[in-house]
Amino acid sequence: MTLSLGVIADDFTGATDIASFIARAGWRVVQLNGIPRQPLPLDGVDAVVISLKTRSCPAPEAISQSLAACRWLRDRDCHRIYFKYCSTFDSTPQGNIGPVTDRLLAETGSALAILCPALPVNGRTLVNGYLFVNGQLLNESGMQNHPLTPMTDANLLRVMDAQAAGNTGLIPLATLRRGAGAVREHLEALRRQGIRYAVADALDDADLTLLAQSLPDDVLLTGGSGLAGALAALAPRDAERSATPAVPPSTGRAVVLSGSCSRMTNMQVEQYRRQAPARAIDVTRCLENGALYARELAQWVVEQPHRPAPMLFATQAVDVVRAVQARYGAAATGAAIEGLFADIALSLFGQGFSKFIIAGGETSSLITQRLGVGGFAIGQTIAPGVPWVRDIGRPLWLALKSGNFGDKDFFNQAQELYQ
């Protein structure tokens, strides 16, 4: 049996997001932490999601890891490759969406990549190639202040042109809504013009379904979880499986670790700290002596009441983040805070904590890598794109929340689902 879809995800929140959308159609999804070192039985598996941490690393590193993942998938007879990046197109003029897409195009022999970040259920829509987040232009949505990948232009044709080798075109909404024939003709015309990437407009789920129905087999798929969910829904599998996803047990301790500075996470932290023990990370201490500070913070968490779960947060408003970045540099600050959270998580796991509710893609990626999770079983969805997931090898549960996903009460909602 061949794999229907092989996903290369540029971070771990994105990976659990897309895995949950594919699993919703009853597909059997295996989510992995990188490429497995040992042989992996894939009988009966419909889709594999390979989670990488390649969104903000140097482009050559992102290319080589993505390429290795692509080869691993193609060696297992998977010929439908999907490059998953953020629904807010998180990247810089150096990449990594453009350079990775270029390399995957060459590797797969495809002439054209579809760029479809649209995720209407979470307010991400595209019109004339402009990306909106809950009705606001991307560059006015808060994403212009992202600590690592500030998005200052909502026009994805321009954004892609700046970081990729080829030229970008558009699949306009009007063309999409004329149906599969019109889309295919349009893609042919783009190819003849030498266009290498086609940004897809989409306003709602029906548009994503239309797009999924219209795409020829020989294009490279890239984007958010919306299009992948639509593709899976065209060929639903086991309805029973999608109806009974697992949730964590109420036994075992939990912690909330918040390393995102997005608008939504700021609101979630504000809300949750009113109800639960909460402590802010002192970034200067983190940068000066992270190892000692991690031990102190882990000890603090252990000493708190069990429920609601205590929270540690680096989450801050834009001006606070800017001030610390001006002093220490954005990349160094980000890496130090991620490392601090990973040290704390490892220490807490060693002391019996079995549920980790984490906010932030980079933050989640490093923590999960350091916890040594080999693979993930996809559980109950807490908010669209954020499922509970369980380590396939151990009773360890994770909720990896994208910075902008979930509503204000997300941290409570995750805990309300315990069995």
Ligand X SMILES: O=C(O)[C@@H](O)C(=O)COP(=O)(O)O
Interface contacts to ligand X, rule CB under 6 A: 11, 13-14, 17, 86-88, 90, 224-225, 360-361, 385, 402-404
Instruction: Give least dist CB 404 to ligand ADP, A.
Output: 7
102 binds, among ligand ADP, ligand X, none (CB under 5 to 8 A by kind): none
- Residue 259 as a binder of ligand ADP (CB under 6 A): the answer is yes
Answer with the entry of ligand ADP, ligand X, none that 87 interacts with (C-beta below 5 to 8 A by kind): ligand X
Q: Among 362, 376, 378, 410, which residue interacts with ligand ADP (rule: CB under 6 A)?
A: 362
Does 324 help bind ligand ADP (rule: CB under 6 A)?
yes
Shortest CB 121 distance to ligand X, Å: 11
Shortest CB 262 distance to ligand X, Å: 7
Minimum distance between the CB of residue 87 and ligand X, rounded to whole angstroms? 3
| Minimum gap (Å) between residue 146 Cβ and ligand ADP | 6
Which of positions 372-411 make contact with ligand ADP (CB under 6 A)?
Answer: 402-403
Q: Which does 259 bind (CB under 5 to 8 A by kind): ligand X, ligand ADP, none?
A: ligand ADP
- 321 belongs to the binding site for ligand ADP (CB under 6 A): yes
CB neighbours of residue 306 within 10 Å: 9
d(CA 168, CA 197): 5
CB of 291 to ligand X, least distance (A): 26
Q: Which of 271, 304, 325, 380 binds ligand ADP (CB under 6 A)?
A: 325
Can you give the binding site for ligand ADP, defined by CB under 6 A?
146-148, 259-262, 283, 314, 316, 321, 324-325, 333-334, 337-338, 360-363, 402-403
